[in-house]
Amino acid sequence: MNLRGKRVLVTGAGGFIGSHLTEQLVANGAEVSAFVRYNSKNNWGWLESSPVKKDVTVISGDIRDYDSVKDAVQGVQIIFHLAALIGIPYSYKSPLAYIKTNMEGTYNILQAAREGNIERVIQTSTSEVYGTARYVPIDEQHPLQPQSPYSASKIGADNLALSFHHAFNLPVVVARPFNTYGPRQSARAVIPTIISQILSGHRTITLGNLTPTRDLNFVLDTVKGFIKIAECDDNLGETINIGSGKEIAIGDLAKLIAGLLHTEIVVNQDQQRIRPGQSEVERLLCDHSKIKKFTDWQPQYSLEDGLLLTIEWIRANLQTFKPESYNV
């Protein structure tokens, strides 16, 4: 399937990954509708400053509201469903919000798609659903382990999407990206946390657990993975990882970023930033053989190159960060 000329809906289009995906879809010739959360200021998130702002149809609504979702889906052929609550620490404070947004929101998309003439629904998952690796690299057959309310809500949403494929023949694919980073990511994530503290002049930076490893992927690689998965005609009903196949510990990541900034740092651990013991995901390392089986996707950005691009973006937007605060 070629997405050029296709009528595409992106939910969560004003967010970090969603805005980059929207821009790439426009560049690929798709007719894009961007679903963003309604607010009284009519703010479209990262699309406000996007070069494709005038090239997309922006729809304000609430993913938890079936009526607004159903209206947004009208006339659409392809849906990329990214709208979600994603902050893990906040899921400890408000689990129900994650159920309503991530599970009920996904239901609304699936049911609206079922009632429409939808050619493809790409459900956005997360590597967090795997929990701490029982074996590496982690393939799509790895057990799912709900180690946080966030991951539980995403496991539920993914399985709901697959159930609509099996029960109602809805053309669904679950795209499961590992840890994505890059320009526009909020300071609740570890890479912007490290960079913004160093750029603000801190030589002692504050983090949580330093030993977990993550498989880090530059946002443009993740976005191209989404598009390659959507264009494939042979993967309906499948779950497909998007990841680099490389891992790095958080402590080593902090040292790498400091080196790229030609700075020496000391890292302090803050107890409020450390997850409850059984909730911490200790290791994530992607097996990306399946996406390579179905597509020609390959990561284009090394970790160092992606970090340098992220550093430059944060440097230019440092005033929007609050490095002295813990962003839940």
In a domain, 326, yes or no: no
Residues 155 and 197 in one domain: no
The model's pTM: 0.97
Residues 85 and 231 in one domain: yes
Residues 89 and 221 in one domain: yes
Residues 6+ apart with CB under 8 A from 3: 25, 28, 29, 30, 78, 227, 230, 231
Domain count, the chain: 2
In a domain, 190, yes or no: yes
In a domain, 186, yes or no: yes
* Residue 327, pLDDT score: 73
In a domain, 328, yes or no: no
Q: What angle do CA 171, 174, 177 make, to 5 degrees?
A: 150
Cβ contact 310:253 at 8 Å: no
Residues 153 and 206 in one domain: no
In a domain, 2, yes or no: no
Residues 117 and 42 in one domain: yes
Cα four-point dihedral sign 95, 98, 99, 100: positive
What is the chain's length?
Answer: 328
d(CA 242, CA 215): 10
Rg (CA), the chain: 19
Going by C-alpha positions, the residue among 213, 210, 176 that lies closest to residue 194 is 210
* Residue 323, pLDDT score: 82
In a domain, 294, yes or no: no
The CATH number covering residue 308 comes to 3.90.25.10
Residues 171 and 206 in one domain: no
**Residue for token pair 């809805």:** 170
d(CA 36, CA 24): 17
The CATH number covering residue 12 comes to 3.40.50.720
The residues of the chain scoring below 70 in pLDDT are none
* Residue 204, pLDDT score: 96
Full 3-state SS string of 136-183 = CCECCCCCCCCCCHHHHHHHHHHHHHHHHHHHHCCCEEEEEECEEECC
In a domain, 296, yes or no: no
Residues 189 and 68 in one domain: no
Contacts of 274-278 with CB under 8 Å at 24 or more apart are 274/208, 274/209, 275/88, 275/89, 275/148, 275/208, 275/209, 276/92, 278/147
* Residue 322, pLDDT score: 85
* Residue 197, pLDDT score: 96
In a domain, 110, yes or no: yes
Phi-psi region of 112 (alpha: psi -120 to 50; beta: other; left: phi over 0): alpha
Q: From residue 217, how far is each of 182, 223, 233, 303 by CA, in Å?
A: 8, 10, 25, 7
Residues 110 and 137 in one domain: yes
Residues 273 and 312 in one domain: yes
Residues 172 and 279 in one domain: no
Q: Which domain holds residue 125?
A: 7-180+217-242
Residues 89 and 226 in one domain: yes
Residues 189 and 132 in one domain: no
| Type of residue found at 197 | Q
